[in-house]
Amino acid sequence: NDSRLSQAALECLKKEGLGAGASRLVCGNMTAHQELEEKLARFKGSQGCLLFSSGYMANVGVISSLFGRDDMIFCDRLNHASIIDGILLSQAQYKRYPHVDMDALDRLLQEAPATGKKCIITDSVFSMDGDLAPLDKIVELAKKYQAIVMIDEAHAFGVFGKHGKGLAEHFGVEKEIEIQMGTLSKAAGCFGAYVCGSRDLITYLINQARSFIYTTAMPPSIAAAAAKAIDIIENDHFTRERLHENARYLRAQLKLMGFNTVISESPIIPLVIGESHRALEFSQRLLRKGIFVSAIRPPTVPEHTARLRLTAMAAHTKDEIDFTLGQIQRIGKELKII
Ligand SMILES: *Cc1c(COP(=O)(O)O)cnc(C)c1O
């Protein structure tokens, strides 16, 4: 809802019109795309950047173009569905390791055949549990076994790190992660996705990633709005700090009430209920009070772990959060969850 973004989009819309018209490689390549890529590469401190029309397409395109039958991918069990689809399309061999279990990952890497590329792929902030991937340890293991690391910063971009570059910045391992993907659809409030990495990686993707080549470029006005979002992310530390403050407060209060919030360390706060119908009932009762919290159910999350997924925002006021907490406590008691 930040009017600075819609203003940037409007100005570009007046100049460039609505659609990009074609794939970047045909005649859809516009100044707004290139400016956004340059800005992202500079912001992320990488040699290059490539835009995709969505995070789903970025993961599918990158993974399927870089890896094949002879390669081995190591994938956290709770990684986003788009990563799984990319792996399936690549036909690479893959092992899913138990969620953030570094001993298990170590063992799997040790057992891996010596031929082919090895790659560890992980969400940096997990979208349904709100916890963090131990990127420092992942980078260490990658060095030990000569594996490539790819991270999906969808929920970390704009949120983690001193400048909001993501969880790699937070852990100080930006230089050690070869493939850094993130979306512009979440904290950046726009649409689309980026992949940052070496110049060679970007050149390769431009020529090989089918979900980049065979699809129409993102509308230029969206790219212009995203460029504005990056300026805000880079300079507005106050809003980021308020976001984390709101999240900390919400988490702490829910824990005090006796809810199971798993091990969330981010603004994504799962409130695990158990059975789907109870999570739905909880969500509907909240909506009647004007509070919109969706119930996330299997197969998006494992059986018997249906949950409310709360997301703290920087724009929430203390009064709004306290009102929400009061309603959650009341309904939690009525439904005998606490
Ligand atoms: C949302 C999300 C995506 C997909 O991004 P879109 O731009 O919505 O296609 C990919 N990975 C993760 C971890 C996400 O949370």
Residue-wise pLDDT for 307-335, tens only, equals: 999 999 999 999 999 999 999 999 999 99
Mean of the per-residue pLDDT values for the chain? 97
Task: Give the integer Cα–Cα distance in Å for 273 and 165.
Answer: 33
pLDDT tier for residue 7 given thresholds of 50, 70 and 90 = very high
Answer yes or no: is pLDDT of 103 > 90.
Answer: yes
pLDDT score, position 182: 98
Name the region of 16 (left: φ>0; alpha: ψ -120 to 50; beta: rest). Answer: alpha
- Residue of 54, 56, 63, 301 to test ligand 1 pocket, by largest number of atoms within 8 Å of CB: 56
- Residue of 59, 80, 126, 151 to test ligand 1 pocket, by largest number of atoms within 8 Å of CB: 80
Answer yes or no: is pLDDT of 261 > 90.
Answer: no
Q: Ligand 1 mean position to 124 CA, how many Å?
A: 12
Q: What average pLDDT score do residues 211-220 get?
A: 98
Q: Whose CA is nearest to atom 5 of ligand 1?
A: 55
Answer yes or no: is pLDDT of 263 > 90.
Answer: no
Residue 1 CB neighbours (<10 A):
6
Q: Counting atoms of ligand 1 from 1, which one is nearest the CA of 186?
A: 1
Q: Counting atoms of ligand 1 from 1, which one is nearest the CA of 185?
A: 7
Residue-wise pLDDT for 147-200, tens only, equals: 999 999 999 999 999 999 999 999 999 999 999 999 999 999 999 999 999 999
Q: How far is CA 249 from CA 206, 269, 333, in A?
A: 44, 11, 20
Whole-structure pTM value? 0.96
| Cis geometry, peptide bond prior to residue 299 (ω within 30 degrees of 0) | yes
Q: How far is CA 235 from CA 10, 253, 306, in A?
A: 22, 30, 37
Q: What average pLDDT score do residues 239-249 get?
A: 97
pLDDT tier for residue 262 given thresholds of 50, 70 and 90 = confident
Here the tokens at position 51 are 């835009």
Residues 269-288 as b or e (16 or more Cβ within 10 Å = b): bbbbbeebeebbbbbebbee
Long-range contacts of 99-103 (CB under 8 A, 24+ apart): 99/126, 99/129, 100/76, 100/131, 100/133, 100/134, 102/134, 102/137, 102/138, 102/141
Answer yes or no: is pLDDT of 87 > 90.
Answer: yes
Q: Which amino acid is at 193?
A: A
pLDDT score, position 191: 97
Task: Give the integer Cα–Cα distance in Å for 118 and 290.
Answer: 48
Q: What average pLDDT score do residues 53-68 get?
A: 98
pLDDT score, position 62: 98
Residues within a 6 A CB radius of ligand 1? 54-56, 59, 80, 82, 123, 127, 152, 154-155, 183, 185, 193
Q: Assess contact for 128 and 272: CB atoms under 8 A.
A: no
Residues classed as catalytic: 127, 155, 186
Task: Give the integer Cα–Cα distance in Å for 23 and 98.
Answer: 39
pLDDT score, position 257: 95
Task: Give the integer Cα–Cα distance in Å for 71 and 153.
Answer: 23
Q: Whose CA is nearest to atom 14 of ligand 1?
A: 154
Q: Ligand 1 mean position to 183 CA, how many Å?
A: 6
pLDDT tier for residue 205 given thresholds of 50, 70 and 90 = very high
